[in-house]
Amino acid sequence: MNVIGLGCSSFTIAVYIGNRPSMLEYQQLSCLSPLTLGEIEMVNQACGNGWRKVFNVYAKLLYALDKEKFNYSTLAPSWQKYRDNYLLQHNSQTALFFSPPQLSTAKQTLHIICGRTYAKHLLSTGQLTANFTWLDEQFAIDKAKNLIVCPYFDYRQLSNANIEKLAYLLSDINSQ
């Protein structure tokens, strides 16, 4: 199966989401394609606040990660600058997939599924095999696969407190 999404082919953090930007070029995308400088703003302008939230939450999450284990926050003075200048671009080590997870066995690769509903859909359709331990109603983890289910990348669902929790879980999985 071909992976479809936005980002760097040498990703170490992979986020899986159940929808795509409504722009024609993303609806027809058939591979993993890095974004270019300014492309996030173009998507935000064309697709509205929903995608702005996805990109913002992704950047805020990377910026919240333990600086001893992850270098994302060292690349830019703010999460906004990181989003605009690095997120999902070539050599960013980040990816946002529209296709089901193809979990790598690389220990350094971390996988995040956006939303419990999407995770349950992937499981029920056989597009994902995982042995999740549900930590609460919003978060689940399969440590053997470096896989976490979290709330959808939206401010209401993945609040700043939940971003901090997810950052902690990613750091914890990364140190196993």
40-92 tens-digit pLDDT: 999 999 998 899 999 999 999 999 999 988 999 999 999 999 999 999 999 99
Measure the CA–CA gap between 72 and 64, rounded to whole angstroms: 9
Task: Grade residue 120 by pLDDT with cuts at 50, 70 and 90.
Answer: very high
Measure the CA–CA gap between 53 and 44, rounded to whole angstroms: 9
Task: Measure Cα distances from 121 to 100, 124, 126, 127, 160 in Å.
Answer: 10, 5, 8, 8, 26
CA 20 to chain centre: 13
Measure the CA–CA gap between 68 and 44, rounded to whole angstroms: 32
Does 175 have pLDDT greater than 80?
A: no
Alpha helix segments (H runs only) across the chain: 24-27, 39-47, 49-64, 79-85, 116-124, 160-174
Q: Which of 79, 72, 53 minimizes the C-alpha distance to 151?
A: 53
Measure the CA–CA gap between 19 and 36, rounded to whole angstroms: 20
